Chains A and B, each alone.
Chain A
Amino acid sequence: MQRLIFLCFLVSITTKAYAQDAKEILQHAIDLMYGKKTYSVITMTITKPTWSRTVSMKTWSIEPDYSIVYITEPARDKGSVTLKRKNEVWNWLPSVQKTIKIPPSMMLASWMGSDFTNDDLVRQSSIMNDYSHKLIGEDTIEGYRCYKIELLPKPEAGVVWGRIIIWISKKEYMQLKEEFYDEDGILVRTMTGSNPKMFDGHLLPSYSEMVPHNKPGNKTSFETKELDFDINISPEFFSIQNMGRVK
């Protein structure tokens, strides 16, 4: 689930990197960000032109394939669970005590009313291999010197974005900003990370925000309250049976 926060830090980890430096920087930042096995407490705020909503959740994940999100707030949705196993998304509905698999055609629907889709939850791993990347310069974001890395889709890759630019701080390897462009070169989404804090020995942005530029007045932000690395869980934890049991 930690993945959702920086959902869009889509990174190519192919062995045949076109630019060794850029690949290494990204790999380092990704490792730092996602860890291997994580537990986190996150508050997501969805802002729409006419309303806003705050959802609090606990997440467990083994990157990149497994995650469970347990909703703690608001009261109406408390107990809802989203399970991601590889390319599948399942939901546990406490009010009817049932599990539903999200069908492929529903993958583009909004997740919990946010600007992210179900597809965003699972897609990341499938496009990790689909981009080539290149160091295109340096920049300063919020006082941090950053590498600026450009990701372009490989010709054969069936991906959503036409171009992605990622800013990674030179010293701490924090991903501080990403811009997502469509195939026509128009900026569609901007993600920014800020307010770095120490989590379990790592300095990471505690606040991040996604602004979809095609929907004025919309914004989804995340505040990480707690983040633990290398917790003791196994892939069996991410089972359909376990969805109704996590708390």
Chain B
Amino acid sequence: MITTMKYYLTFAWRNLWRNKKRTLLSTTSVLFAVFFATAFRSTQSGQHDYFIQMSVSTYTGYLQVQGKGYWDERSFDFSIEQNDALISLLAHTPHVTLINPRLESVALISHELETRISPVIGIDPDSENEMSGLRKRLVEGSYLTDSSRGVMIAEGLAERLHVGIGDSIILYGQGYQGVTAAELLPVEGILRFPIPKMNNAMVYLPLAKAQSLFNAYNRVTGMVLMIDDMEKMKSIQSDLSARLDTNLVVMNWEEMSPEIVQVIQSDVAGELIIMFILYTVIGFGVFGTVMMMAIERTREFGLLIALGMKRARLLLITTIEAMLVSIIGALAGSVVAFPLLFYLNHNPIHLTGDAAKAMLAYGYEPILPVSIEPGVFLSQTIAVFLITIIVSIYPLLFIRKIQPVSALQGRGGVK
């Protein structure tokens, strides 16, 4: 049986090489199909991953432990105690790679006659940097340390307030339990964010300083968690929820950033339509090649059948041929796509014009990131492979109906 199969394979392989041009043409059409499908899918998926990753690393983290009600009210009333028991519990949770405590509020930032409302975030400078790479954003001055007495502010905010390193700003807000929080704070660092919303607003100060300023000693508004496996996020979330006090909640990024989930969902819907069109074009392209091949070989098929070749065997050989063409084309497509996508993954295209404006409006750096997840390549290769197999049914039907006399006389083969 295996030997027979080997013969068929050999026959099919030889058939392919009998007409190199034809084989090359079919293979190339599959190759391009896979290439385009992969490139498209990879760009889409890369963009979604980028949205998620940007949002997760700059702001929400994958998970956050908060006081129950905090997310809706954003009030210190729902802040939580930063105690060793909680930290140790989080630290001993599998897959948690980083625990980043934050005390967030909104306050008036004023310098001379200018006053702005800004998000004010008390951070652990090291863990915040580990999570979001905040230190990279520093354009002037120095990065905060735990014992800093001052603040780091975003570049756009500094411009609006006309402050530089060494100047002091007034921070005025409301602390824990309604107390007034007001203090003169020196600007120690200036940060540049690609996102205008952040670049015009953010104010960071060391956690301990924020806690004393807001009269929220030893309290945080959230423990931001990073994990090493996004797939496990929901199971970690439910596991933690079960083990934490009932006045604490664990939120995941999808709950904290529902707008991103929505953007992705609507994007995926549009993407499905485009993929359908792409697959249709691919399908007909491959079908054209296959049909041409079948017509071209009418005489050959007719002759073989006339000589006593069983139709079943002929069908088998042609199927093997089609599969070989598909496999080679699909693999080649992936192989061609990979270096290009790999390059783009590491050197994303920077967008300009309206597209860039739209992305900035969403709050993202205007780049076109691509994904090089193996899943993208695999799924597209398989999809195109299946399409090829489906369209290859045509020559099979053709062979079944072929009339040797008609075929040999060059009358189309079927009548």
Query: Could you list some 25 contacts between A and B, CB below 8 A?
Result: A48-B77, A49-B77, A50-B77, A51-B77, A53-B177, A53-B179, A76-B180, A77-B180, A93-B170, A93-B182, A95-B182, A98-B110, A100-B108, A100-B170, A102-B108, A103-B117, A106-B108, A106-B117, A109-B174, A110-B174, A112-B174, A113-B174, A113-B178, A113-B179, A114-B178
Closest 9 CB pairs of A and B: A113-B178, A93-B182, A96-B184, A77-B180, A51-B177, A53-B178, A95-B182, A100-B110, A96-B170
**Residues 86-107 of A contacting B (Cβ, < 8 Å):** 91, 93, 95-96, 98, 100-103, 105-106
The B316-337 residues at the A interface (CB cut-off 8 A) are none
- How far is A123 from B196 in the complex, measured between Cα atoms in Å? 32
Q: Which residues of A contact B178 (CB under 8 A)?
A: 46, 53, 55, 110, 112-114
**Number of residues on chain B facing chain A (CB within 8 A):** 17
A interface residue numbers (CB < 8 A to B): 46, 48-51, 53, 55, 74, 76-77, 80, 91, 93, 95-96, 98, 100-103, 105-106, 109-110, 112-114
Contacts of A48 in B (CB 8 A): 77, 177
Q: For the complex, what is the distance from the CA of A189 to the CA of B110, rounded to whole Å? A: 33
Q: How far is the CA of A102 from the CA of B182 in the complex (A)?
A: 14
Which residues of B lie under 8 Å from residue A77 when comparing CB positions? 179-180
Point out the residue from A49, A50, A103, A112 that lies within 8 Å of B180, measured CB to CB. A112
Asked whether B215 lies within 8 Å of A76 as measured between CB atoms, the reply is yes
Residues in A neighbouring B179, C-beta threshold 8 A = 53, 74, 76-77, 113
Closest A residue to B78 by beta carbon equals A50
The residue of chain A having its C-beta at the shortest distance from the C-beta of B172 within the complex is A100
How close is A164's CB to chain B, nearest CB, in angstroms?
Answer: 26
A46 to B174, CA, bound (A): 14
On chain A, the residues within 8 Å of B184 by CB distance are 96, 98
Q: How far is the CA of A106 from the CA of B170 in the complex (A)?
A: 16
Q: With the chains together, A107 CA to B266 CA distance in Å?
A: 36
Q: Restricting to B352-403, which residues have a CB under 8 Å from any CB of A?
A: none
- B108 surroundings in chain A (CB, below 8 A): 100, 102-103, 106
* Residues of B with C-beta under 8 A to A110: 174, 178
A90 to chain B: closest CB distance in Å?
A: 11
**Can you name the residue of chain B whose Cβ is closest to the Cβ of A78?**
B180
B228 contacts chain A at the CB level, 8 A cutoff: no
Is there contact, CB below 8 Å, between B115 and A100? Answer: yes
| Alpha-carbon distance A36/B197, docked complex (angstroms) | 46
Inter-subunit contact A95/B177 (CB<8 Å)? no
Which single residue of chain A is at the shortest CB-CB distance from B185? A96
B239 within 8 A of A: no
Q: How far apart are A235's CB and chain B's nearest CB, in angstroms? A: 23
User: Is the beta-carbon distance between B183 and A95 smaller than 8 angstroms?
Assistant: yes
- A80 to B117 Cα, complex, angstroms: 20
Could you say which residues of chain A place their CB within 8 Å of the CB of B115? 100-101, 103
Query: Which chain A residues lie closer than 8 Å to B215 at the CB level?
Result: 76
A102 CA to B110 CA, complexed, in Å: 10
Q: With A110-B178, A113-B178 given, name 20 new contacts (CB 8 A).
A: A48-B77, A50-B77, A55-B178, A76-B215, A80-B180, A93-B172, A96-B170, A96-B183, A96-B184, A98-B184, A100-B108, A100-B170, A101-B115, A103-B108, A103-B115, A109-B174, A112-B180, A113-B177, A113-B179, A114-B178
- Complex alpha-carbon distance, A49 and B67, angstroms: 14
- Please give the distance in Å from B390's CB to the nearest CB on chain A: 56
Give Cα A131 to B96, complex, Å: 57
Check if A105 sits within 8 Å of B170, measured CB to CB. Answer: no
**Distance in angstroms between the alpha carbons of A112 and B215 in the assembled complex:** 14
Q: Measured between C-beta atoms, what is the minimum distance from B70 to chain A in Å?
A: 13
Question: For B174, what are the chain A residues with a Cβ–Cβ distance below 8 Å?
Answer: 109-110, 112-113
Q: Is the CB of A105 within 8 A of B117?
A: yes
Q: Which of A53, A76, A91, A105 contacts B172 (CB 8 A)?
A: A91
Name the residue of chain A whose CB is nearest to the CB of B173. A109
Query: Given the complex of chains A and B, what is the CA–CA distance between A95 and B172 in angstroms?
Result: 10
Enumerate chain A residues within 8 angstroms of B116, measured Cβ to Cβ.
103
How far apart are A95's CB and chain B's nearest CB, in angstroms?
Answer: 5
Expressed in whole angstroms, the minimum distance between the Cβ of A93 and any Cβ of chain B is 4
CB-defined interface of B72-89 with A at 8 Å, one 1/0 digit per residue? 000001000000000000
Closest to B76 in A: A113
CB under 8 Å from chain A, chain B span 197-235: 215
Q: How far is the CA of A36 from the CA of B10 in the complex (A)?
A: 107
CB distance from B118 to the nearest CB of A (A): 11
Q: Please measure, in the bound complex, the distance between the C-alpha atom of A110 and the C-alpha atom of B170, giving whole angstroms.
A: 19
Report the Cα distance A51→B76, complex, angstroms. Answer: 11
Report the Cα distance A242→B116, complex, angstroms: 24
